[in-house]
Amino acid sequence: MSADPGVDGPKSPLHQRFESCAVVAALGRGEPFGLEELKRFAKDLMAAVTEKVAAAGALDIGHIKAVVESGQCFIYANTVGDPKDITVETNKETPQGDVSLTLNAVVLGLEQGKIHMAAHEGMLMTAERYRLEIRKP
Protein backbone atom coordinates (compact mmCIF):
# COMPACT_ATOMS: atom_id res chain seq x y z
CA MET A 1 0.00 0.00 0.00
CA SER A 2 1.42 3.37 -0.96
CA ALA A 3 2.41 5.93 1.62
CA ASP A 4 0.33 9.01 2.22
CA PRO A 5 2.49 12.08 2.64
CA GLY A 6 -0.51 13.96 4.03
CA VAL A 7 -0.87 11.56 6.96
CA ASP A 8 2.44 9.68 7.25
CA GLY A 9 5.03 11.34 9.40
CA PRO A 10 8.58 10.87 10.62
CA LYS A 11 9.43 8.22 13.18
CA SER A 12 8.02 9.29 16.56
CA PRO A 13 10.67 10.64 18.96
CA LEU A 14 9.51 7.93 21.38
CA HIS A 15 10.76 5.29 18.90
CA GLN A 16 14.18 6.73 18.23
CA ARG A 17 16.33 4.16 20.01
CA PHE A 18 14.33 1.11 18.95
CA GLU A 19 15.50 -0.87 15.95
CA SER A 20 14.34 -4.14 14.46
CA CYS A 21 15.48 -6.79 12.06
CA ALA A 22 14.15 -9.93 10.47
CA VAL A 23 15.64 -13.30 9.61
CA VAL A 24 13.80 -15.48 7.11
CA ALA A 25 15.25 -18.86 6.19
CA ALA A 26 14.42 -22.33 4.92
CA LEU A 27 16.24 -25.09 6.79
CA GLY A 28 16.42 -28.80 6.22
CA ARG A 29 18.11 -32.07 7.13
CA GLY A 30 17.89 -35.74 6.16
CA GLU A 31 15.78 -36.96 9.09
CA PRO A 32 12.37 -35.51 10.01
CA PHE A 33 11.62 -33.56 13.17
CA GLY A 34 9.25 -34.75 15.87
CA LEU A 35 7.03 -32.07 17.43
CA GLU A 36 8.89 -32.03 20.75
CA GLU A 37 12.26 -31.70 19.03
CA LEU A 38 10.98 -28.84 16.87
CA LYS A 39 9.67 -27.09 19.99
CA ARG A 40 13.11 -27.47 21.58
CA PHE A 41 14.66 -26.04 18.42
CA ALA A 42 12.36 -23.00 18.60
CA LYS A 43 13.17 -22.48 22.28
CA ASP A 44 16.91 -22.86 21.75
CA LEU A 45 16.70 -20.44 18.84
CA MET A 46 15.12 -17.80 21.08
CA ALA A 47 17.80 -18.34 23.72
CA ALA A 48 20.63 -18.18 21.17
CA VAL A 49 19.40 -14.99 19.52
CA THR A 50 18.83 -13.40 22.93
CA GLU A 51 22.38 -14.29 23.97
CA LYS A 52 23.92 -12.94 20.76
CA VAL A 53 21.91 -9.69 20.79
CA ALA A 54 22.75 -9.09 24.45
CA ALA A 55 26.44 -9.80 23.78
CA ALA A 56 26.38 -7.31 20.89
CA GLY A 57 25.52 -4.58 23.39
CA ALA A 58 21.74 -4.18 23.36
CA LEU A 59 20.42 -1.97 26.13
CA ASP A 60 17.27 -4.02 26.26
CA ILE A 61 15.52 -6.70 24.26
CA GLY A 62 12.03 -5.55 23.47
CA HIS A 63 10.81 -8.71 21.85
CA ILE A 64 12.24 -11.62 19.89
CA LYS A 65 9.61 -13.76 18.20
CA ALA A 66 9.55 -16.40 15.55
CA VAL A 67 7.21 -18.59 13.59
CA VAL A 68 8.66 -22.00 12.76
CA GLU A 69 6.69 -23.97 10.17
CA SER A 70 7.07 -27.54 8.95
CA GLY A 71 4.26 -28.95 6.83
CA GLN A 72 0.98 -28.23 8.64
CA CYS A 73 2.82 -27.74 11.93
CA PHE A 74 3.56 -24.27 13.21
CA ILE A 75 5.25 -23.07 16.34
CA TYR A 76 5.15 -19.54 17.74
CA ALA A 77 8.06 -18.78 20.02
CA ASN A 78 8.77 -15.54 21.77
CA THR A 79 10.80 -13.98 24.52
CA VAL A 80 11.31 -10.58 26.04
CA GLY A 81 14.91 -11.34 26.81
CA ASP A 82 14.76 -13.57 29.87
CA PRO A 83 16.19 -16.99 28.89
CA LYS A 84 14.08 -18.55 31.69
CA ASP A 85 10.90 -17.13 30.22
CA ILE A 86 10.61 -18.30 26.62
CA THR A 87 7.10 -19.08 25.42
CA VAL A 88 6.57 -21.78 22.81
CA GLU A 89 3.08 -22.46 21.47
CA THR A 90 2.10 -24.90 18.76
CA ASN A 91 -0.93 -26.10 16.81
CA LYS A 92 0.25 -29.64 17.69
CA GLU A 93 0.35 -30.89 14.11
CA THR A 94 3.16 -33.31 13.18
CA PRO A 95 6.12 -31.61 11.45
CA GLN A 96 6.77 -32.73 7.90
CA GLY A 97 9.78 -31.99 5.71
CA ASP A 98 11.84 -28.83 5.75
CA VAL A 99 11.50 -26.06 8.27
CA SER A 100 10.77 -22.47 7.40
CA LEU A 101 11.64 -19.76 9.84
CA THR A 102 10.46 -16.16 10.20
CA LEU A 103 12.05 -14.27 13.05
CA ASN A 104 11.72 -10.70 14.24
CA ALA A 105 13.86 -8.99 16.84
CA VAL A 106 13.06 -5.56 18.29
CA VAL A 107 15.88 -4.20 20.34
CA LEU A 108 16.68 -1.01 22.23
CA GLY A 109 20.00 0.72 21.78
CA LEU A 110 21.62 -1.36 19.05
CA GLU A 111 21.91 -0.44 15.39
CA GLN A 112 20.01 -2.50 12.86
CA GLY A 113 23.08 -4.06 11.19
CA LYS A 114 24.34 -5.36 14.52
CA ILE A 115 20.94 -6.78 15.44
CA HIS A 116 20.79 -8.55 12.11
CA MET A 117 24.26 -10.01 12.49
CA ALA A 118 23.53 -11.21 16.03
CA ALA A 119 20.18 -12.73 15.05
CA HIS A 120 21.75 -14.47 12.07
CA GLU A 121 24.57 -15.86 14.21
CA GLY A 122 22.03 -17.14 16.75
CA MET A 123 20.09 -18.84 13.97
CA LEU A 124 23.22 -20.47 12.50
CA MET A 125 24.37 -21.66 15.93
CA THR A 126 21.00 -23.28 16.64
CA ALA A 127 20.72 -24.78 13.16
CA GLU A 128 24.13 -26.40 13.57
CA ARG A 129 23.13 -27.90 16.91
CA TYR A 130 20.15 -29.58 15.23
CA ARG A 131 22.20 -30.60 12.17
CA LEU A 132 20.13 -28.36 9.95
CA GLU A 133 21.42 -26.95 6.68
CA ILE A 134 20.37 -23.61 5.31
CA ARG A 135 18.41 -24.40 2.14
CA LYS A 136 17.45 -20.80 1.43
CA PRO A 137 18.71 -17.86 3.46
Partner 1 sequence: MKLVQVAGYLGSGKTTLILDLVRALAATGTKVAILVNDVGEVPVDGKVLSLSGMTVKDIGGGCVCCQVAGSLMKTLEILGREQKPDIVIVEPTGIAVPESIKETARLAARKTPVTLGPVIVLFDTTRVEKLINFDTINRLVARQVKDADVVALSKVDAAEDNDISRAVEEVARLNPKAKIVRLSVRSGEGLEEIVRRTQQEMAPA
Residues engaged in binding partner 1 (CB under 8 A)? 1-12, 14-15, 17-18, 20-22, 24, 59-60, 62-63, 65-67, 69, 74, 76, 78-80, 85, 91, 102-106, 108-109
For 2, residues 6+ apart whose C-beta sits below 8 A from its C-beta are: none
- Residue 33 in 3-state DSSP? coil
Q: Are β-strands 86-90 and 73-79 bridged in parallel, bridged antiparallel, or unpaired? A: antiparallel
At closest approach, how far in Å is the CB of 51 from partner 1? Answer: 17
At closest approach, how far in Å is the CB of 7 from partner 1? Answer: 4
Q: In angstroms, rounded to a whole number, what is the distance separating the alpha carbons of residues 120 and 102?
A: 12
Return the number of the residue (74 or 130) whose C-beta is nearest partner 1.
74
At closest approach, how far in Å is the CB of 37 from partner 1? Answer: 20
Side-chain-facing half-sphere of 14: CA atoms under 13 Å: 0
Return the number of the residue (108 or 134) whose C-beta is nearest partner 1.
108
